Structure 1
């Protein structure tokens, strides 16, 4: 079976698709509700969950793995990117380059995986800005939507500040702070660790076992090597793909 030719049971059912589509937005509603009550001990973890689930949704949209029409997929890519205060189309450009030239000199997204860990720590927070620049350079035909998405993130930030100044509410600014921290550390948890921990690492094996209970965030970490070979498999179904499809060649995933 070729990576882009999947059987029906490795595609989301309608119920599974709705779950994948709604999860980050339901979590966002829960965050707003808890933050509005001032229950920050629940609201902040919920904000982290929103970012992680938004990342998974955006990632599946990048690969058109959710079974949506092309137009609907593009809209979802924009919206899920905004959950992370990022340009979804911009990140798609560098992510697809990563799949085509994994950890090669012309793979800007994968660059942190080739650095020493201390460099990832101090340079990682600036890496996402470099990716924005590289995506504009590599895909001039998508510059308009990238700039529109960038403008939308700035508008959101302005709204968060205005809400604080006018009503004294920290709901938006706290969410922005969580999204900023998640972005600053993204080179660690989305690039360095997946490419440095083998599938036999105890942490990866534990994540793989847990991911079988429908935890797409853990699946994206535990089955990163499977995703590289079968990118059209939705993240939530990677455990099934790992169990049923031929394993990727050892040399394929650095």
Structure 2
């Protein structure tokens, strides 16, 4: 079944709209995880802070991912602000990530898909490739993107540099810890955000891997409903469990490879 046929078969357009409650969740999901991790580090409980830092990174990724597809329920200015703030907190230019992610949807797993390069590697190759991945998406954006993208990338990188300089100059320990953990997270993106959901799917790139099982999806904040996202990128993450149910009901024969 083609992508177009799937779009016609599954009811999905009503899932694009967010209620006020859902909009507040999507735009504030990162806050408790950041505050708790910073509090633990402030009192030198680094091991206790790590899982909360990981959840911050995951929820921030969910937030910016929705921002890429204008699915935060906010206007353009607030969506831009969300991407900008998360650039500083995640130690990367989120607009560079956005540029490559939009290309990923357009050229999925082809030579033009720079984000998807690690999908064809071994799992350990994707992990080792992580730092190259982060460098490449910035390089590609600065070389190929329009002037607006380039300005945003340069602004975000400058802001990250200022942020890092300030926290090291004043020796703000809990934020130094945060920056280090975020960098590690970014270096693992080629594995977690690309390889896990796209390996062995080159025959049908639009049919990405997905995840079933309530506890697994709750633990990962619904970020591994990737088949659903690639088929219906305009649907916000908070609506993906319902979309997955509709796909299962309408297309039980659709091959759904599991993420983990």
Shorter-chain TM band: 0.7 to 0.9
Question: CA contact under 8 A between 2:12 and 2:243: conserved in structure 1?
Answer: no
Which runs of 5 or more structure 2 residues have no equivalent in the other structure? 1-6, 202-206
| Structure 2 SS opposite 1:123 | helix
Distance in structure 1 (CA, Å) of the matches to 2:130 and 2:237? 24
Match of residue 57 from structure 1: 63
1:32 Cα deviation (Å)? 2.1
Query: Aligned to 2:95, what secondary structure does the other structure show?
Result: helix
Corresponding position of 1:151? 158
Residues 58 and 76 in structure 1, CA contact (< 8 A), matched pair in contact too:
yes
1:77 equivalent among 80, 83, 94 = 83
- Aligned match of 2:223 in 214, 220, 224? 220
TM-aligned CA deviation for residue 42 of structure 1: 2.1
Describe how 1:92-107 pairs up with structure 2 within 5 A: 92-107=98-113
CA shift for structure 1 position 80:
2.2
1:187 aligns with 2:176: no
Cα distance in 2, alignment partners of residues 176 and 13 from structure 1: 33
Query: So what's the TM-score if we normalise by structure 2?
Result: 0.83
Structure 1 partner of 2:180: 177
Paired residues of 2:197 and 2:208 also in contact (CA < 8 A)? no
Larger mean CA deviation between 34-43 and 59-68 belongs to 34-43
What is the Cα-based RMSD across aligned positions, in Å?
A: 2.8
2:245 is aligned to: 243
Tell me the CA shift for residue 249 of structure 1: 10
Report the Cα distance in structure 1 between the residues aligned to 2:163 and 2:142, rounded to whole angstroms. 21
Is the deviation greater in 235-244 or in 95-104?
235-244
* 1:35 matches 2:41: yes
Whole-angstrom CA distance in 2 between matches of 1:194 and 1:46: 23
Correspondence for 1:210: 215
Using the alignment, how far apart are the partners of 2:254 and 2:92 within structure 1? 33
Counterpart contact for 1:54–1:81, Cα < 8 Å: no
* Partner Cα separation in structure 1 for residue 71 and residue 116 of structure 2: 21
Q: How far off its partner does 1:54 sit?
A: 0.6
Aligned residue pairs, count: 241
In the alignment, is the contact (CA less than 8 A) between 1:91 and 1:131 conserved in 2?
Answer: yes
Show structure 1 runs of 5+ residues with no match: none
Q: Deviations over 1:185-212 (max 9, x none)?
A: 11111000111378999x9333xx2266
In 2, Cα distance between the equivalents of 1:154 and 1:235?
A: 31
